[in-house]
Structure 1
């Protein structure tokens, strides 16, 4: 009976994590600290590589409506290189939270880092 309780506790913990994180289109899971919603309303999403420009000290990202599910008007973000998280696939991803004006996490493919 003790093992059943452990299975139930583990399932409940996984359910709580999945309530706050979701998968990228390619299947890897965004870190829960970055994503605060489900795949439809989540803050994280793949963005076109053309929206990302490397500069001397970090990336400049300019997103327009259609580049990310949360973006309703043009936004500019700057992410220092030491804040970039390796992407779980070959794409750039950004998490916007609490609003579209705030970059929470930015992921870059390994060949771009």
Structure 2
């Protein structure tokens, strides 16, 4: 996650994203909008806890999910999303959360 933060703060070029106004940092995204590992997820899959977010994804919630997965993301590694949605990057497998994005009003 340190590399992700450095890439974002360093103003590195952005990889593909959910719209033309912002994109996922290259340290987070491996692929393109169709085959990539980043995508918007339903807000109902995200639960805030005192120490971070718990995310439970099922097939249909994200393009890489084939079975239910649970992730925990501490608040100090959450990246602000460029829109009003939650996004997650899963790499190298669907069990591995690489980057998690939250809307500014949820942080």
TM-score interval w.r.t. the shorter chain? 0.7 to 0.9
Higher helix share: 1
| Higher relative contact order structure (alpha carbons within 8 Å, sequence separation ≥ 6) | 2
State how 1:34-49 maps to structure 2 within 5 Å.
Answer: 34-49=28-43
Partner of 2:46: 52
Q: Tell me, which stretches of 5 or more residues in structure 1 are unaligned? A: 1-16
Alpha-carbon deviation of 1:22?
A: 1.1
Q: Tell me, which stretches of 5 or more residues in structure 2 are unaligned? A: 1-12
Q: Distance in 1 between matches of 2:20 and 2:47?
A: 23
Matched length: 95
The normalised TM-score by structure 2 is 0.84
Aligned to 1:93, the other structure's residue is in SS state: strand
Partner of 1:77: 71
